[in-house]
Amino acid sequence: MTITHNYADSLSSLGQVITPTPLKEMQLAFFNASLAREIGLNKHIDSSETLLPWLLSPVTPLTKKAFAQKYGGHQFGQWNPDLGDGRGLLLCEVANSQGEITDLHLKGAGPTPYSRHADGRAVLRSTLREYIGSEALHYLGIPSSRSLAMFTSGETVYREQPEMGAMMIRTAPSHLRFGHFEYFYHSRQTDRLNALFDFAFTYHYPQFKHADNPHKAMLKAIVLRTARMIALWQTHGFVHGVMNTDNMSIHGITFDYGPYAFIDNYKADAVFNHSDYSGRYAFKQQPGIALWNLNALAHAFSPFVSIEEIKETLSLFETTFINQYQKAMTERMGLPATQEGVGLMQGFIAMIEDEQQDYTLSFRRLALSLSQQTQSSLPIRDFFVNREKFDSWYTAYQGAVVNRDTLAFNPSFIPRTHILQQAIEHAEKGDLALAQQVLKASSTPYNAKWDHDEIALPPKNAHQVSLSCSS
């Protein structure tokens, strides 16, 4: 239950200590007290009132060694060495009573040496989206960074237009990205790459430190964790939007929320990032891009792992992804993970895509149709235009179902883009009530109370939205 600065102390040459620059008229908007207890921070910050003074002072354990990390990354497939913490700072690490280490990272902290002439700020719009989105994925059971605190301000930040400035503190097992290892490998800074690996083994993968080949064991763990995470993204219709390698975590958690979205009307090629002109990061492309990114990361392991061993390790991605995806999807539908079950699952997805049905709601309605305790007001078939095709599929489905209680696998609530936008517009006027309601729903996504709540409904005029990377 201690606050440390292991990264800043051990890897001081891999970045720079920078004092955060407070926003004008900062106010604490949200504080995740349960997360603070879980990570052991409550032993130091026992209330939300303690947090802001600690952040505003340059000499507290949160701020005295705040560190801007240097890394690179493949952005839309192109290598960019000129990246790093341009608007964020690693504040510290905190350990709980079980010895689990968690990074605290301040986003929107002001200029750093890696800001590339930008202001180092974040806007309320993007901050609120990340705060809610990361908590939503956590409670859906998808590995993710978490949200500890969010701050509003009276400061104006300029993007496409003037917006309100904001900050958030997020947590993660670490903030080590694929791009960290790529940068020190491609820049041929061997000593620093070795130091980075030593740090990762010591604090994050100690179980592999004495393996026959520690680096191969670590790479394998990253491949497997990433494959399982992507399978859960696909299961829930989540589109990350900007899967650059600097936005990929070595822990296999969802990281760096930008133009993310959950699919409304199902389209396998859905794209939400308005900068993604080629559809590189479309929903259906995410598994392939994840493997591409892992291959880019694997170059940094090549001094320690043979090419054949790297190929063998990367080959684990596809089977792991398929197995996890089929298991999760058939579980959602109460089907066995057999060839028949997988075929019925694929048939259902094809039907909802053909008719542009809402993805999340279609699975929830299917779960309601099975439940003996809960009945929807309309039979699920009434939502389909091609009733004959649906009836044929449903007859086969009913004959194959092995579990009729699937509501716990099919959320009634996801933070849809349109409701997030409404919460942002209210928050920009000083009203956080809707944001609080969305956050509450995000933390209880399987609760039946949201089945008939307006904040859980799809948009009335469904169309594919386009979001900016600053979202």
Predicted local confidence at residue 463, as pLDDT: 61
Tokens of 364: 């929830």
Segment 163-176 shows an average pLDDT of 98
**Candidate list 246, 256, 276, 358, residue with the active-site label:** 246
Tokens of 455: 């904040």
Whether residue 246 lies in the annotated active site? yes
| pLDDT of 174 strictly over 50 | yes
Tokens of 36: 């603070």
The pLDDT confidence band at residue 134, using thresholds 50, 70 and 90, is very high
Predicted local confidence at residue 471, as pLDDT: 46
Predicted local confidence at residue 100, as pLDDT: 94
| pLDDT of 376 strictly over 60 | no
Predicted local confidence at residue 337, as pLDDT: 96
Predicted local confidence at residue 466, as pLDDT: 66
Is residue 108 domain-resident?
yes
Is residue 325 domain-resident?
no
Last residue of a domain, one of 123, 152, 175: 175
| pLDDT of 469 strictly over 80 | no
Q: Look at residues 223, 224, 256, 225 and name the one whose alpha carbon lies nearest to residue 240.
A: 256
**Measured between alpha carbons, how far is 229 from 247 in angstroms, rounded to an integer?**
14
**pLDDT: which is higher, 385 or 371:** 385
Last residue of a domain, one of 126, 154, 175: 175
Segment 374-401 shows an average pLDDT of 88
Share of the chain above pLDDT 90, in %: 92
Is residue 438 domain-resident?
no
**pLDDT: which is higher, 378 or 439:** 439
| pLDDT of 170 strictly over 90 | yes
Q: Which domain holds residue 110?
A: 3-175
**Measured between alpha carbons, how far is 150 from 107 in angstroms, rounded to an integer?**
9
Q: What integer best gives the mean pLDDT of the chain?
A: 95
Last residue of a domain, one of 381, 405, 429: 405
Is residue 167 domain-resident?
yes
**Chain length of the chain:** 471
Mean pLDDT check: name the lowest of 41-50, 81-90, 167-176, 398-407: 41-50
Predicted local confidence at residue 246, as pLDDT: 98
With residue 339 as reference, give the H or E element that holds it.
helix 339-354
Query: Total domain count for the chain?
Result: 2
